[in-house]
Amino acid sequence: MHVVVALVRTFKFKRLNMGVDGLWMIISGVFLLAFLVVHLIQFRFVSEAAAPQYYFRTKWMYPFYCSGDDTSCELVHFKDLYKMEFQLFSNPFWVCYYLIGILFFISHAREGLRKMVNSHPVVPRAYKGATNAVGQVLVILVGLCYLSFPIYSYFAPERDWNAYDAAQRRLVVGPQ
């Protein structure tokens, strides 16, 4: 819905001499749409069979705790996002792609927030500057958190996937 409304508004109000500044929101928005589609394909819509599996015992919270080697508790598995992330971000291309996508997100969110705060009638005129400043800081902080994932995964990779997988297999086998 956000994308459709943005596209309609852009073409409805565009001028012939509009520069990149005037079209930045639509340019960054289209890139973000492509970025999100790729991101969802890589992490959300990957098949269970293709993704690495993470195993754990179902009764893992107090007071229903079962240790990892207690075979009386059911063993379940799901996509191992930790391993998927580290495997994906071992490739410098994907690290750069995600960093650029996140920078586009930060820029898009900051500009959208600025426009919304300045044009919204509910925000009192006296508080627009402070509201905008706090919002900008929060967007940047969230963006920095997002930037940290690919950077950390690339520069501090899991050194021993065999040990990681062996720990998972220990949960699967367990003492009988």
Distance CA 89, CA 92 (A): 7
Helix (H) or strand (E) holding 6: helix 2-13
3-state secondary structure of 116: helix
How many angstroms separate the Cα of 62 from the Cα of each of 66, 73, 168, 172?
Answer: 9, 14, 22, 21
How many angstroms separate the Cα of 106 from the Cα of each of 45, 46, 75, 111?
Answer: 25, 26, 40, 9
Q: Which two tokens stand for residue 79?
A: 């996509």
Query: Going by C-beta distance under 8 Å and a sequence separation of 6 or more, which residues neighbour residue 95?
Result: 89, 150, 151, 153, 154
Q: Do 79 and 52 meet the contact criterion of CB atoms below 8 Å apart?
A: yes
- Mean pLDDT for each consecutive 10-residue tract of the chain (176 residues)? 76 67 83 94 83 70 63 74 89 96 96 90 91 96 97 86 75 50
pLDDT of residue 176: 44
Alpha helices (H) along 46-127: 81-88, 92-119
Place of tokens 């509910």: 122
Global pTM value: 0.78
